[in-house]
Amino acid sequence: MVDVTIPQIGESITSVFIARWLKKPGEAVAEGDPLFEVDSDKASMEVPAPTKGVLTETLAEEGDEIDIGAVVARIDETAEAPEPEAAAPEAEEADEPTSEVRAGPAARQQAKKGGVDLGSVTGTGPRGRVTSGDVRGAKAPAASKAPAPAPAAPASVGPRTERVPMSPLRRTIARRLVEAQNTAAMLTTFNEVDMTAVMEVRKAYQDRFVKKHGIKLGFMSFFVKAAIEALKEFPAVNAEIDGNDIIYKNYYNIGVAVSGPRGLVVPVVRNADQLSFAQTELAIADLATKARDNKLRIEDFQDGTFTLSNGGIFGSMMSTPILNPPQVGILGMHNIVQRPVGIDGEIVLRPMMYLAMSYDHRIIDGKEAVSFLVRIKDCIEDPQRILLEV
């Protein structure tokens, strides 16, 4: 009998939520088959079977919060799945449906509260699963079919408030964000960057770049490279605190925000300092595709040393990003807007972006944080600095 445990998801994550089971007790599984899906504050991800056999029991329900390393299921490596029973002849009429409705705890609670028959709700979730949104969109059965009096009374618009349980993912995010602010001396410094030079480089070389590498040259690879140059100059921003010690990291795993079904997630581009611009763009594109398809793996989130968060893709002009422990720095990028700026004694319009650098003041001084952000600004406004490392 093999125990199935909750694997290590990422740094400083101590628990996850069981989102849904993908296998049932009695089902045969092959090694690597997805057994269940978990929610962390970063993303939903599938946990594979560690061996082949038969899933004999599950020890946690959907929606349960489980500690990392805890046993949640058992697989019998020596057992074989029972042969499926022959289908019984169909009865002319069935008093009750024989199939079980696939719905999670939140949907069932919503149905019970609203008096909705789950069997009558069409599920829009994976594999026909009924979501709480499906339940809210369904109508409870009418109590009476008596005709409405004339003139008819105005239709009820329903309750003015609605109480819906937080999803496991949202509960985890809420707890982690509070922990980040309570455990770090977090401050934010701001600057702005003129995107003219980067935009001119992209315009001049985009066609050749796409023809050679099969992918467009975006803005994010410039910021990844600029951040690495700044991290080399200010190594404390690439470090972490462990008790009374500082751990300096001589590698650069950059977390890059990409958009998934549940919002922004931050998988990691590993050893980004060893990648070319094209390799960086391809790595980011691969992570973005995995995020959209909900195929990010546990290891895609591990060992990050610094994070880039891009709220600008949603139109954000300014924000104060929150640290992703144990990292001690995060760069917030925002939308690009034509703004009047003074250049050589003249007022001109330039494509400007606000930058926000949040940092842990326990290890990074204010001067160091400001200088770090200025270094990024200099690299973006003069991209040749990145290539020449000056």
Q: What is the pLDDT of residue 92?
A: 46
Q: What is the pLDDT of residue 281?
A: 95
Q: Long-range contact list for 208-216, CB < 8 A, 24+ apart?
A: 209/278, 212/278, 213/278, 213/281, 213/282, 215/278, 215/281, 215/282, 215/285, 216/281
Q: What is the pLDDT of residue 95?
A: 42
| Structural domains of the chain, ranges and CATH numbers in brackets | 2-76 (2.40.50.100), 184-388 (3.30.559.10)
Q: What is the pLDDT of residue 126?
A: 58
Q: Which residue numbers in the chain have pLDDT < 70?
A: 10-12, 41-44, 81-102, 104-106, 109-110, 124-129, 131-133, 139-158, 167-169, 261-263, 390
Burial of 12 (0-12, 13-18, 19+ CB in 10 A): middle
Please name the residues in contact with 157: beta carbons below 8 A apart, sequence gap of 6 or more: none
Indicate which residues carry an active-site annotation: 361, 365
Q: What is the pLDDT of residue 19?
A: 83
Q: What is the pLDDT of residue 136?
A: 72
Q: What is the pLDDT of residue 285?
A: 93
Q: What is the pLDDT of residue 113?
A: 72
SS (H, E, C) the chain: CEEEECCCCCCCCCEEEEEEECCCCCCEECCCCEEEEEECCCCEEEEECCCCEEEEEECCCCCCEEECCCEEEEEECCCCCCCCCCCCCCCCCCCCCCCCCCECHHHHHHHHHHCCCHHHCCCCCHHHCECHHHHHHCCCCCCCCCCCCCCCCCCCCCCCCCCCCCCHHHHHHHHHHHHHHHHCCEEEEEEEEECHHHHHHHHHHHHHHHHHHCCCCCCHHHHHHHHHHHHHHCHHHHCEEECCEEECCCCCCEEECEEECCEEECCEECCHHHCCHHHHHHHHHHHHHHHHCCCCCHHHHCCCCEEEEEHHHHCCCCCCCCCCCCCCEEEEEEEEEEEEEEECCEEEEEEEEEEEEEEECCCCCHHHHHHHHHHHHHHHHCCHHHHHCC
